[in-house]
Amino acid sequence: MHPERASVHVRGRFKIMRRAWAEIRKVKAYFIANLLLGLFFILLLTSFDVGILAGHISELFGMRVELFMATVFLAVQALLVARMLFVQYRKERKSLTDLLRQDENEAFELKSSLRWDYELERVNKDLEYAVIKTIAGLLNTRGGTLLIGVSDDKRVLGLERDWCTLKRRDGDGFTQHLARLIGNELGNTSLADVSIGILPYGQVQVCRVDVWPSEDPVFVTKGQREEFYIRIANMTVSLPAKQAFMFIEKRRRGR
């Protein structure tokens, strides 16, 4: 795998794990209560005559019963955290098949191609701008997933037509081109909140772009002005300056 493409995948994985850990932190009260309950259980258990049990534990594991119980309890907690991380990771990383079962919404968008216009049968740079708008909208709202190579009616078209328009006609070339577009149009810092992957689907390839909410507002330059896009339902909408300011302020207060 090309180093640039690999770095994009690694950033995406770290983002997913960070979001999973953030979700776990929301239920920290449960962990505190669980910890206190476990400690109480250990104290209660060790207050009885457990000499026989202690002897067996000492013989088998070479440790005192208190230390053994504490180790078991902490191991259970570690497994619980690991399971929650895994469940959240799986939730974030829905399979391509699962994604294709759902309709477009605030956090999910389909694009037939990055730059190849199937109607005009030629390269159309306006399509690249449409992809950038969608990514900006996701960055400015709640994040989500964009699939490139799938039509609005969920026909999987693949990326071959796009590849044929690039100097490097493969997945790495496509990934690098899209990453450069995002960096040039939205700023290189936006790439930290974007994961680009090329996935096989039958005999073709599809591009999956996972996007996480940006900490800072992201603008798209259009001619002489900057546009601020957000996602509403299954649309990417440009907000007028006053509404954009209010949206950004409201979002900052909500953090």
Write the pLDDT tens digit of every residue in 136-150.
999 999 999 999 999
* pTM of the predicted protein model: 0.69
Q: What is the pLDDT of residue 94?
A: 74
Average pLDDT value for residue range 17-45: 61
User: CA 90 → CA 28, 83, 104, 239, distances in Å?
Assistant: 21, 10, 20, 33
Q: Using CB atoms within 10 A of its CB, is residue 60 exposed (0-12), middle (13-18) or buried (19+)?
A: exposed
Biggest CA–CA distance in the chain, Å, is 84
Residue 19, token pair as written in the block: 């979001």
pLDDT band at 95 (very low <50, low <70, confident <90, very high): confident
- Domains defined along the chain, listed by start: 17-92 (no CATH), 95-254 (3.30.950.30)
In the chain, the N- to C-terminal Cα span, in Å, equals: 37
Write the pLDDT tens digit of every residue in 1-11.
554 444 444 45
- Phi, psi of 225, rounded to the nearest 5 degrees: -130, 165
CB within 8 A of 79, min separation 6: which ones?
Answer: none
Write the pLDDT tens digit of every residue in 64-80.
767 777 777 777 777 77
Q: What is the pLDDT of residue 16?
A: 55
Q: What is the pLDDT of residue 88?
A: 56
